[in-house]
Chains A and B, each alone.
Chain A
Amino acid sequence: MTVPLALLGLLEREPSHGYDLKRDYDTIFGRGRPLPFGQVYSTLGRLARDGKVTGQSEPGDGPDRKRYAITPLGRQEVATWLAEPVAAEPYLQTVLFTKVVLALMLGRDAAGYLDAQRATHMRRMRELAEIKRGGPLTDALLADHAMFHLEADLRWIDVTQARLGALAEVVRAS
Chain B
Amino acid sequence: MNPLETLRFAVLGLSANKVRSGLTMLGILIGVAAVILLLAVGNGSSQAVKDSIDALGTNALTVSSGAGFGAQSTATSTKPLTIDDARALADQSQAPDIKGVAPEVQTSQTALYEGTSHTVSSVIGTYPAYFEASNSKVVQGDYFSNDDVLAARKVAVIGSTTATDLFGTASPIGKKIVLGGTPLTVVGELATKGSGTGFQDPDDVIIAPLPTVQNAYSGFGSLSQILVEASSADTTTQAQNEITTVLMGTHGIKDPTAVDFRVSSQTTLLSTRSSTTQTFTVLLGAVAAISLLVGGIGITNIMLVTVTERTREIGLRKAIGAPKGVILSQFLAESTLLSLIGAGLGVAVALIGAHFTIVGIKPVVIPASVWGAFAIAVAIGLFFGSYPASRAASLRPIEALRHE
Q: Is B a genuine binding partner of A?
A: no
